[in-house]
Chain A
Amino acid sequence: MKYLDEYRDAAKAREYARQIARVTTRPWAIMEICGGQTHAIVKFGIDELLPQSITLIHGPGCPVCVTPLECIDKAIEIAARPGTIFCSFGDMLRVPGSALDLLSVKAGGGDVRIVYSPIDAVKIAAQNPAREVVFFAVGFETTAPATAMAVHQAAEQGVKNFSMLVAHVLVPPAMQALLSSPDCRVQGFLAAGHVCAVMGCAEYGPIAAKYRVPIVVTGFEPLDLLQGVLMCVRQLEEGRAEVENQYARVVRLEGNEHARQLVRQVFEIAPRKWRGIGEIPASGLRLRSQYESLDAVKRFGLADHDTAESAECLSGLVLQGRIKPAECPAFGKGCSPEHPLGAPMVSSEGACAAYYRYRSRDPEPALTHKS
């Protein structure tokens, strides 16, 4: 496929791997932020091509994984309300709440629908004026503009039966939280290309300078990732800590101002709890006061509950890059995509799911990850 196959070329991939090996003189630990990148790395076996001294640490960039348990429980509570149509991205349906998941609510008679765009949820609301339609607004800076557009459209068209459960999160504050931790092993970052396509790269300069880490804005195809690693290793070897853009075919340094403006009009920055990590200041979005009527939590008067994660599930440590999925005692035993204990085993961007799908049961060294 044009614009895709070029970035999956085996000979070029090996050439990048050779270049990385040539410039690497000592061990380095690099975190890829985005779960999409993690999946590409594990799916294509990119880490197998890298020298032993380069460790890729999988980051928290999986929106499904970091949506807090309380929020999933609220989604389940809303979806189970008679007469409500609950719209969600497909990935969220299997994520376990403290007792159920959305698929079980659907099986129990709840009207839970998969949508690909928040705009479709507004359409469903317009078509069903007698029913409350709620959209589960999860995701990073990448999905926030579409959610903001849905808010605009609902307001413009006077769709009164539409509201949303907002769980949007922001990447740079999470990077800072990870870097501030005394256990942090990360020496360089591959930043998530799609997030930067919206937000631009300006936020990363101060992080690179403050924590002395190179940050390479990177794409999602095998050659993107290998080139991103090469650029990051070069900086580390040369003692530089700069923001570089590997994904220049998509990302402009200034990002997409229209999209950012839309998000700013609808949302304001707020503290947000991340599943498995805890509350991170200024790391989430909430509806501005003029759009408060669209907040499903307020509309349905949902109370906050204390919820506890399964003690067996170490997904918090996985999300912080402190352990690899296979190092969790529940991995592949009590926890599998069919019976997940934690969200990273569910999502198509979750690290546990990536390892389970592509690696877990093979005994050959060539197919197991490096430790």
Chain B
Amino acid sequence: MNQAEFTSSCPIPIRQYPRVLLAHGGGGKLMHDLLEKMFFAAFGEAPPSGRHDSAVLDFPTGRLAFTTDSYVVRPIIFPGGDIGSMAVHGTVNDLAMSGARPLWLSAAFILEEGLPMETLWGVVSSMRDAAARSGVRIVTGDTKVVDKGKGDGLFINTAGIGIIEHSQVIAPGRVQAGDAVLVSGDLARHGMAIMSVREGLEFQSRIESDSAPVSGLVLKILAAGLELHCLRDLTRGGLSGALNEIAEAAKRRIVIEENAVPVREDVHAACELLGLDPLHVACEGRFVAFVPPKDADQALAIMRQDETSAGRIGRVEAGDPPLVVLKSAIGASRILDMPSGEQLPRIC
């Protein structure tokens, strides 16, 4: 089926089955229909190797980056995205953090019996769009259906392969004293968008997830010939989680200016309301970059072409033990610690 034949509604004959049945994972006709009418329809035909147990792909010369991630987000659909777009962006972004150009993804679905077929189609369509936006192809996949009550609607695992077309090593070990710390845009939107629709915590807001691919931006910075010492996407644990991991791995001290950290006003307000620190809250389309001082201004300028809220938030210093220090809004210093466990809203 080609692109022009896509429809926005759930494809026939799946509509004869408004909900996912165990048989959709059973290897018979229903599963065949599901693959044919939903997954191949959305993700395109099999690679030149044809439909087979594995995709066979021509790999360009160079180093490859390989990553995998599983997605269990609740609710499945949230303001600014859904589990499908997130499963594509998340894995694409993990590849981008090595400076790789993402090429191919796998997509494995664990579906709970009874999942509305329309919901699945919505998620699959959103994966198709996210893959197109990110410049990757979904070339292999898997579907399993579990009994009602044994899953939570829908889980997705994606793995990704990308090619590294430059000679830099982008890793925590390369972080040096003097490096500038840049963030690619305002923080905490994804986590607060999810929080605003989570059962029991709903509050009215216009906060949408920042879920988006960042590979294009990273490749643009590399294409400008700039040096990047380390990149890290700001998912679970938010900025403080990422910085603490890097400080630890690089054996360096990272000093952040609280006032320089970009957080949108409504996001900040929602965090204040729930007693959460925006620096601990997850993003899905933001990363932190450690850039040598000579290239920092230019890297920031490129980031700002995509996202005006990108900012320079601090620097790396020598220092033992490795830790993250935050210069507070009123000018005093404190540790910025890694969050412990799940972010729990406070009482009053």
Residue ranges of A at the interface with B (Cβ–Cβ < 8 Å) = 1-2, 4-5, 8-10, 13-14, 36, 42-46, 48-49, 63-64, 87, 89-94, 113-116, 120, 124, 138-140, 142-143, 194, 222, 336-338, 347-349, 356-363, 366-367
* Minimal Cβ-Cβ distance residue in A for B340: A337
Contacts A89-B346, A143-B347, A348-B346; A114 near B200 (Cβ below 8 A): yes
Q: List residues of chain A with CB within 8 A of the CB of B203.
A: 116
Would you give 26 A-B contacts (Cβ < 8 Å), ordered by A?
Answer: A2-B265, A5-B329, A8-B329, A10-B329, A14-B331, A44-B332, A45-B331, A45-B333, A48-B333, A63-B348, A89-B346, A91-B345, A114-B201, A114-B344, A115-B200, A116-B200, A116-B274, A120-B200, A143-B348, A347-B347, A359-B334, A360-B335, A361-B321, A361-B335, A362-B335, A367-B335
Q: Which residue of B269, B329, B347 contacts A349 across the interface (Cβ within 8 Å)?
A: B347
Whether the pair A113, B200 counts as a contact (CB closer than 8 A) is: yes
Tell me the minimal C-beta distance from A150 to chain B in angstroms.
13
Assuming the contacts A42-B334, A49-B332, A114-B200, asked whether A1 and B344 have C-beta atoms less than 8 A apart, the reply is no
Cβ of B18 under 8 Å from chain A: no
The proximity string for B residues 258-284 relative to A, scoring 1 for CB distances below 8 Å and 0 otherwise, is 000000010011001011000000000
Which 3 pairs from chain A and chain B are nearest by CB?
A: A45-B332, A90-B344, A337-B340
B342 CB → nearest A CB, Å: 8
Q: Decide if A13 touches B331 in the complex (CB within 8 Å).
A: yes
Closest to A226 in B: B330
B348, A367: Cβ atoms closer than 8 Å: no
Chain B residues positioned under 8 Å from A357 (CB to CB): 335, 337
A116 touches B345 (CB 8 A): yes
A338 touches B330 (CB 8 A): no
Nearest CB of A to B150, in Å: 13
A91-B332 CB under 8 A given contacts A356-B337, A361-B321, A367-B325: no
Chain A residues within 8 Å of B323, by CB: 361-362
Q: Report the minimum CB–CB distance from A288 to chain B (whole Å).
A: 23
Q: Which partner residue on chain A sits nearest B337 by CB separation?
A: A357
Residues of B within 8 A of A336 (CB): 340
Least CB separation from A92: chain B residue: B347
Compute how far the CA of A255 lies from the CA of B4 in the bound complex, rounded to whole angstroms.
Answer: 65
Known A113-B200, A349-B346, A367-B334: A1·B265 in contact at CB below 8 Å: yes
> A142 and B348 in contact (CB under 8 A), knowing A356-B337, A362-B323?
yes
Complex-state Cα separation, A44 to B332, whole angstroms:
6
Q: In the complex, A357→B347 CA distance in Å?
A: 19
> How distant is the Cα of A137 from the Cα of B341 in the complex, in angstroms?
23
8 Å CB contact of A114 from B325, B328, B337, B345: B345
Give Cα distance in the complex from A36 to B272, angstroms.
12
Does any Cβ of A come within 8 Å of B58's Cβ? Answer: no
With the chains together, A142 CA to B346 CA distance in Å?
Answer: 13
Contact assessment for B348 and A338 in the assembled complex, using a CB-CB cutoff below 8 Å: no
Q: Which residue of B lies closest to A117 (CB)?
A: B200
Contacts of A13 in B (CB 8 A): 330-331
* Contacting residues, chain A, for B337 (C-beta < 8 A): 356-358
Whether B53 sits at the interface, judged by CB under 8 Å, is no
Question: What residue in chain A is nearest B280 (Cβ atoms)?
Answer: A357
Given contacts A1-B269, A116-B274, A338-B340, 20 further A-B contacts (CB under 8 A): A2-B265, A4-B268, A4-B272, A8-B329, A10-B329, A10-B330, A10-B331, A36-B348, A45-B332, A90-B346, A114-B201, A115-B201, A116-B200, A140-B348, A143-B347, A143-B348, A336-B340, A348-B275, A357-B337, A358-B337
A297 → chain B closest CB, angstroms: 20
- Which residues does chain B contribute within 8 Å of A14, judged by CB atoms? 330-331
Partner of B334 from the list A120, A140, A358 (CB cut-off 8 Å) is A358
Residues of A within 8 A of B5 (CB): none
> Do A43 and B200 touch across chains, with their CB atoms under 8 A apart?
no
A2 and B269 CA atoms in complex are apart in Å by 10
Q: Which residue of B lies closest to A337 (CB)?
A: B340
CB distance from A330 to the nearest CB of B (A): 16
Q: Which of B270-316 contact A (CB under 8 A)?
A: 272, 274-275
What residues of A have a CB within 8 angstroms of the CB of B346 in the complex? Answer: 89-91, 347-349
The answer to whether A90 touches B345, judged by C-beta atoms less than 8 angstroms apart, is yes
Cα A91 to Cα B276 with chains together (Å): 11
Q: Using Cβ atoms and an 8 Å threshold, which residues of chain A touch B345?
A: 89-91, 114, 116
A367 CA / B330 CA spacing, docked (Å): 14
Residues of A with C-beta under 8 A to B274: 116
Q: Within the assembled complex, what's the spacing in Å between the Cα atoms of A357 and B325?
A: 11
Shortest CB distance A45–B (Å): 2
> Judging by beta carbons under 8 Å apart, are A44 and B344 in contact?
no
Inter-chain CA distance A356–B328, complex, in Å, is 17
Q: Closest B residue to A222 by CB, please name it.
A: B330
| Alpha-carbon distance between A197 and B269 when the two chains are bound, in angstroms | 20
Residues on B with C-beta less than 8 A from A361 are 321, 323, 335
- Which A residues lie within 8 Å of B275 (CB)? 348
How close is A225's CB to chain B, nearest CB, in angstroms? 10
Which residue of A9, A48, A139 is within 8 Å of B347 (Cβ)? A139
A89 engages B335 (CB within 8 Å): no
Which of B272, B330, B347 contacts A89 (CB under 8 A)? B347
**A14 vs B331: C-alpha distance in the bound complex, in angstroms?**
9
Cβ of A124 and Cβ of B200 under 8 Å apart?
yes
Contact B330 A8 (CB under 8 A): yes
Closest to A16 in B: B330
**Contacts A113-B200, A116-B200, A358-B337; A63 near B347 (Cβ below 8 A):** yes
Interface core residue of B199, B272, B334, B345 (most chain A CB under 10 Å): B334
Contact partner, A359, options B321, B328, B335, B340, Cβ 8 Å = B335
* Interfacial chain B residues near A9, Cβ < 8 Å: 330
Closest to A2 in B: B265
A367 to B324, CA, bound (A): 12
A143 to B200, CA, bound (A): 16
Query: How far, in whole Å, are A2 and B265 apart by their CA atoms in the complex?
Result: 9
Query: Which residues of chain B are within 8 angstroms of A94 by Cβ–Cβ distance?
Result: 341, 344
Please give me the residue from chain B that is nearest to A138 by CB atom. B347
Q: How close is A161's CB to chain B, nearest CB, in angstroms?
A: 17
Residues on A with beta carbons closer than 8 Å to the beta carbon of B334: 42-45, 358-359, 367
Contacts of A124 in B (CB 8 A): 200
* Cβ-neighbour of A222 out of B325, B329, B340, B348 (below 8 A): B329
Partner of A64, one of B268, B332, B347: B347
